[in-house]
Amino acid sequence: MSSRTATAAQSLTAITEEVGACAQQVAGADLSRLAQLLDRYERVFVLGAGRSGLALRMTAMRLMHLGLTVHVVGEVTTPAIGPQDILLTASGSGSTAAVVRAAETAVAAGAEVAAITTNPRSRLAELAGTVVVVPAAEKLDRSGAASSQYAGSLFEQTVMLIGDALFHALWLNSGASGDDLWPRHANLE
């Protein structure tokens, strides 16, 4: 049993400070390049495992609201990827087996691969044409040195913010209003 204690409010403050500091260290040039790629390709495919995958699903939804053709890998309606497409991935370690295999398949099919990872020397980063490095702890790093949070939480939170930042930049640059995007919002909820 740990001797550490905190209120939920104290934890919220600690987490938001940690996420803010991490996000500030993500290279803006890499984010800008990724935004340009997402806007350029015919279709965007997204893939991550666990909470990283959930964060990319949120990104997929927002990109769809913007009018991009987006597919979540693994859904039954996801088509084959090809040369006019981009696969956006997230893996803290850059070695998540299913994500790496999908990236290898995408490269073999002639598609672009982009990776969000903590490990710029990983197999996933090697496969990606664009890599956004998040200076956070990997899932298995429980040392507390890179993050006071459990496992890969800081990485996953930052992936979500990166997705929203990509959407926000693309939206502002599109000139579309919120009203223009609204008709694409789900109406079967």
Catalytic residue ranges? 156
Q: Are 111 and 158 in contact (CB under 8 A)?
A: no
Q: How many alpha carbons lie under 13 Å from residue 140 in its C-beta half-sphere? A: 6
Task: Please list the residues that pair with 46 across neighbouring strands.
Answer: 72, 88
Task: Please list the residues that pair with 88 across neighbouring strands.
Answer: 46, 114
Q: Are 152 and 51 in contact (CB under 8 A)?
A: yes
Pairing state of beta strands 85-90 and 112-117? parallel
Q: Which amino acid is at 97?
A: A
Please give the C-alpha separations between residue 11 and each of 14, 21, 137, in angstroms, as whole numbers. 5, 15, 18
Q: Are 128 and 89 in contact (CB under 8 A)?
A: yes
Cβ neighbours of residue 1 closer than 8 Å, sequence gap 6 or more: none
